[in-house]
Amino acid sequence: MPNFSRRVDASEIMDDLGRPDSEFDQAYRELEIINRRLGGIRAIQRFLPSESNLLMLDVAAGACDVSEALLGRMRARIVVLDVNPKGLEFARTSWPVRADALELPFSDDTFDVVMASLFFHHLSDGNCVRALENMWRVSRRLVLVNDLHRHPVAYWSIRALVAGFSRSAMVKHDGPVSVLRAFQPHEFLRIAERAGVPARVYRSFPYRLVLVAEK
């Protein structure tokens, strides 16, 4: 039985950028479906300002599916940033930039909204603080961090889901591990406190947490 009382320090296959392109392609396709059907898009969209033509930054955007979905629902300009160029090839209406999320190459207060989805659980607590500090620095209005809620139901549900439907060895391994590496609400708040960022944490159906910080 996994221990859900604290974050687990376990590796995920997706963090190995040397894996074959075909493995990433299959994983990206399945993660796009998971984000669309299991609340990943809604977790961000529900907290966005209502006005149009926002300038936004999607940090560690992966295959850019969250930003591309948002651009299909609203008028905005979104820069998608990731250290892995494989996912940036999926950018269609967003603007791809290859860079490190821990060293954002932008000036202070550049973007209206800076967001990240399913990224922070890949990081140590210390690097979560560093990433949030950078996101806060380059945002002039709002920071949104959407990640998983570490919970037994979430863990066993994703295990059953990927066992039954996934064709990706990466997703089958990383899905359950991602939940074990994820957060409780108080842990998310502690990261914000360490970063000096005034934030609230909201639950988003089914098992997402969204850290919201407004300037």
Q: Residue 78: inside a domain, yes or no?
A: yes
13 falls within a domain: no
Domain count of the fold of the chain: 1
- 32, part of any domain: yes
Inside any domain, residue 43: yes
What pLDDT digit, counting tens, does each position of 8-63 carry?
Answer: 999 999 999 999 999 999 999 999 998 988 899 999 999 999 999 999 999 999 99
Read off the pTM.
0.95
Long-range contacts for 68-76 (Cβ within 8 Å, ≥24 apart)? 68/92, 68/93, 68/94, 69/35, 69/36, 69/41, 70/41, 70/44, 70/45, 73/45, 74/45, 74/48, 76/52
| 95 found inside a domain | yes
Domain that holds residue 199: 20-149+183-214
Q: Which of 198, 157, 196 is nearest to 179 (CA)?
A: 157
Task: Give the model confidence (pLDDT) of 130-146 as tens digits.
Answer: 999 999 999 999 999 99
pLDDT in tens, 152-209: 999 999 999 999 999 999 999 999 999 999 999 999 999 999 999 999 999 999 999 9
Q: Tell me, yes or no, whether 164 lies in a domain.
A: no
- Is residue 200 assigned to a domain? yes
Q: What is the CATH number of the domain that holds 78?
A: 3.40.50.150
The answer, yes or no, to whether residue 1 has pLDDT greater than 90, is: no
- Establish if 4 belongs to a structural domain: no
